[in-house]
Every structure is written in structure tokens, then in C-alpha cells.
Amino acid sequence: MARHARSDAAGVSDGERRSVNGRQLTEEIGLDGEEIAWRKEFTGFDARDAARLESMAPLFEEIADDLVGAFYDHLRADGASAAYLERSPQTIEMLEANQRRYLLALGRGEYDRTYFDRRARVGKVHDVINLGPKFYLGAYAIYYEGILEAVEADVVRRLEQRSFVAGDGDEADDEAGTNATDEAGTNATAEVGTNATNDAGDDANGGARVVSLEDATELVGSATDDVLSALRLLNLDQQIAMETYIHSYADVEDELERQRTVAANVERELETLRERSAEVLERAAAIDEAADEQTSSMSEVAGEISNISATVEEIASQAEEVSATSERAEEIASSTTTTAQEAITKMVSVENAATEVSDDVETLREGVQRIDEIVEVINTIADQTNLLALNASIEAATAGEAGDGFAVVANEVKSLAEESQQEAKNIESMVAQIQADTETTVESLEEANEEIADGVDLVEETVDSLGRIEESVGEAAEGITQVASATDDQAASTEEVAGMVDSTRDRAVDVSSAVEAVVDASNEQDAVVEEIGAEVDRLTADDD
């Protein structure tokens, strides 16, 4: 609806009524002080009119209640206007009070910007509740009638006050009679006579009460001026009211133009929406196809993950076995290290024993050396014994038969010496062999000591290596344990992934179903778009 769209009375609250700003309205319709002055001049409303209306204040006060009552009786008598009154949030008493204030304002004598602000506000309120000009302006006929009747009654009352009894033949009566042919005079006299008869009765002599033509002309002219002043002000009021209606209609035209613009924009947007809907359908079809492919792929992936899960579980089992083997290897390495330490101890003992043997051999060699020296002594003794035996033989030969026994002894000594010398040679040979064997043994022992020392070094290196191996095996065992644990976790994660893949596959199926729903919704949307387009066209056509 328009910015100042009209609605029925039921849709307007007291707060909304009070929010209507009269000064804002007069500014919007260009009704400033200069414009008001021009309108007054153009309408013929001047200070004399203001003074006359102010002098009529008692009259307005007198007729206010009856006139306002007649005003709303007239509105209630019509079905259409009565419907607005029934739906109004204000009571009839409140409405009558507002009209009474308006009627009394006609006689205040102040018709400035504030007065016309109030008139603009009243006109706007009537427009807002959709009480159109036909009701608003049509109801002014009640004011015209009421004011004219009140002015008429006031003129009659004033004529009665100036009337006199005719029939005495004085100049005034003659003048009244002479001018009886004048229409205004005749009417005035007749009116006075009639009212005099009704109100005060005829003169005692039976004569009618008459008023002079001069007084009648004056009073009728004054009444006419009063009526014209009231009509001029009411005309100004109606101008302002019509301005508010026109202002609203201009707003309505602006709103209609805006609606047409909006309709065009909506049509463009609808066309864009149709294009987007087509794109959505295409993309939905592509998504549906992709979802189907994804579902198939997810099924394959689920199978592969199941295989991976089984493989991971097998690896985890093997890792546990390797971990157990590593632990056993660690134990063996530790045991081997202990054995190697014991071997080192034994080899050190052997080395010490070999050293002792070497020392004993050295002592033996020294003893053999002494035996060799003794053998030399024996050889020397044998040589001397041979020499002695030779000398004895020589002496025995020299002695002849006397020396035969001595020769036998010498021969025995010689034989013993030769035998001793031979045994000494044998001993010397054995000693030489023992010395050679001893040298060989010493050399072998030295080589054995060197080999034992090298063996000890190698065993120590082996022990160090075994220590490092033990550490490495321990670390490997710990790492394998961690691998086994991680593999177990991986197996669990793989199972979770498998579950997720199954869930993703299910979701892909759901997505496919949802895409189908989107397609259906898009088709429905297309139908709605067409309905909206038709409704916009109908709305635009109705506005035109």
C-alpha cells in the first residue's frame, strides 16, 4: 500500500490518529503563511469576516450541541458512513466532542497557520480512515443548513426587537405600507407578523407588527454578510481538506508508480529466478549423478578399507610377535653379554696361567742351561778321564806285565769315560732339543699370550657391541611395542574410517534423495514463480 494509504477505521488506532501531524501536512502541500494569505484574499475572506465570525461565537455556542447531534444523526442514517462510525476506535461521544470543538473554532476569530494546521489534520484523519470526500464534503450540508437556520432565527429575533404595531397612520406605518410591495420588505414584515402573532400576539388594536424597510435591509444585509463570512471560512476549510485528499491521491499515484516499478523489478527478478532455477536443476542433476558415483565409489572404498583393516590387524598381530621376539633377543643379548663377560674373565685367567707357564718354561730353560753347563763339566771330566786312561795305558805299557791290571783298569776307566762322554753327548743332545722345544714353547706361549690379549680385546669389543646391541634391541623392542600399539590404534581408526565411509555412503544416498527433493522443490518454485508473476501482472493491471 501507499505511504499514506487509506484503510478502514478498524485499522487505525487512537495513537495513529494522534500521530497525524497537521503542520507537516501543510508544509508538504505548500500551505505556508503566504499561501494562506493568498487563499484568503482569493476567497474574499478578510478581517471583517474574521470579526463577524467572532461576533457569531455565541450563536455557534448556542447551536453546537443540536447541530453536532444532527450531523452524526445524518451520518448514522446512511449505511456506508454508519459502518465507519461503528468500526471507529473512538466512541460517538468522543467524535461529537471533536466536532463541537471544530464548530466553536469557527467563531474564535483567529484563522492563522495553526487553525489551518488543525483543518489539514482533520482532513487527513478522514482520508486515513477512508472516509472520502463524498462523506466529508457531503456532511457540510448539515453545517450549511444549521448555520443558515441559526442566522435566520437570529435575524427574526432582531427584527422582532425593532418591530412596531402598524395601523396608527404614522409615517413609519405609511412607509412600511408603501414598501409592502417590495419583496424583501413584504417577507420581513410577514415573518415578523407571523412570529409576533406566535410569540407576543397582535397589538391590542389587532394590528400586525412591522419593521421599517431600513431596519429590515440592515438586518438582512448583516445576516447575509454573516452567512457569507461563514461560507468563506468553510470554503477555506474545504480547500484544505481537499488538498489533503489530493496529497494522499498524489501519494497513491506515487505508490502506484512505485508498484509498477516494483512489478517490473519483480518480473526481472522472477526471470532471473527462473534462470537460476534452471541452473539449479542442472546442477542438481549433476550433483545427483555425482552422488550416485560417490555412493559407488564409497562402496568400493568401504571394501578396500575393510581389506586394509584386516591387513592392519594382521600387521598388528605380527608386530606383537616381533615385539615378543625382540624381547627374547634382548634377553639373549643380555645373557650373551653376561657369558662374554665370563669368557673375558676366563681368558684373563688363561692369560695369567699362560704367563705363569711362560715363567715356568723360562725357569726350565734356565735349569736346562745349568744342565748344559753340567754336561760340559761331565764332558770335561770325560775328556780328562780319557786322557787319564790314556796316560794309564801308556804307563801300563811301560810297566809291562806289572801294569796289566792297571791297564785293565785304565781301559775300564777309558770305557767308562767314553760311555760317560757318550751319555753326556746324549744329554747334551736332549738338552739342546729341550732348549729348542723350550724356545718353541716360549714363542708359542708368547704368541698365545698375544692371541689371548687380542681375544680379550675382541671379547671386550664384543661385549661393548653386545651392550649396544642390547640397547638397540631394547629400543627396537620399545619401538616395536609402540608400533604394535599404534597399529592397534590404526586398526581401530581404520574401523572408524570404515564406519565413516559407510556413513558417508549413507549420506551420499541421503544427498541423492535430497537433491531429488531439491529438484521437486525447484519445480514447485517454478510454479510459484509463475503464480507470483501472474499475481504481479494482475496487481499492476488492477492498479491501472
Query: How far is Cα 495 from Cα 486, in angstroms, rounded to an integer?
Result: 14
The three cell numbers locating residue 270:
522472477
Residue boundaries of the structural domains of the chain:
1-152, 280-543
Q: Can you give the pLDDT of all 544 residues of the chain as single tens digits?
A: 334 444 444 455 566 566 677 788 788 888 888 999 999 999 999 999 999 999 999 999 999 999 999 988 988 888 888 887 787 777 889 888 988 998 999 999 889 988 888 887 877 776 666 666 777 778 788 888 999 999 999 999 999 988 887 765 444 444 444 443 344 334 434 445 444 334 444 454 556 788 888 988 999 999 999 999 999 999 998 888 888 878 776 655 666 667 777 777 777 787 787 777 777 778 777 777 776 777 777 677 667 767 766 776 776 677 677 667 777 767 877 777 787 688 678 777 867 877 786 787 788 778 778 877 887 887 888 788 888 778 878 887 888 777 777 778 778 877 877 887 788 788 778 878 877 887 887 787 778 778 768 877 876 887 787 677 678 767 766 776 776 677 677 767 777 766 776 776 777 677 677 767 767 877 777 787 777 777 777 766 655 5
162: Cβ contacts below 8 Å, ≥ 6 apart: 211, 212, 215, 219
Query: How far is Cα 509 from Cα 514, in angstroms, rounded to an integer?
Result: 9
End-to-end CA distance of the chain: 14
488: Cβ contacts below 8 Å, ≥ 6 apart: 316
Query: How far is Cα 248 from Cα 261, in angstroms, rounded to an integer?
Result: 19
Pick the CATH number of 1-152 from 2.170.130.10, 1.10.10.10, 3.30.70.1400, 1.10.490.10: 1.10.490.10
- Check if the beta carbon of residue 410 is closer than 8 Å to that of residue 438: no
Q: Say what the pTM is.
A: 0.44
- Check if the beta carbon of residue 316 is closer than 8 Å to that of residue 492: no
Torsion of CA 91, 92, 97, 102, to 10 degrees: 110
- Check if the beta carbon of residue 511 is closer than 8 Å to that of residue 287: yes
In this structure, what are the phi and psi dihedrals at residue 112, rounded to the nearest 5 degrees? Answer: -100, -160
Tens digit of each residue's pLDDT (9 = 90 or more) over 287-301: 777 767 777 776 776
Instruction: Give the number of other Cβ atoms within 10 Å of residue 12's Cβ.
Output: 21
Q: Classify the C-alpha dihedral 367-369-375-381 as positive or negative.
A: negative
**pLDDT for the residue numbered 221:** 92
Residue type, 442: V
**pLDDT for the residue numbered 18:** 66
Angle between helices 47-55 and 57-77 (to 10 degrees): 80
Query: How far is Cα 43 from Cα 37, in angstroms, rounded to an integer?
Result: 10
Residue type, 127: D
The three cell numbers locating residue 201:
400576539
Tens digit of each residue's pLDDT (9 = 90 or more) over 439-494: 887 787 778 778 768 877 876 887 787 677 678 767 766 776 776 677 677 767 77
Burial of 435 (0-12, 13-18, 19+ CB in 10 A): middle
CATH class given for the domain over 280-543: mainly alpha
Query: How far is Cα 334 from Cα 139, in angstroms, rounded to an integer?
Result: 123
Query: How far is Cα 502 from Cα 515, in angstroms, rounded to an integer?
Result: 20
**pLDDT for the residue numbered 61:** 94
Query: How far is Cα 341 from Cα 229, in angstroms, rounded to an integer?
Result: 141
**pLDDT for the residue numbered 6:** 43
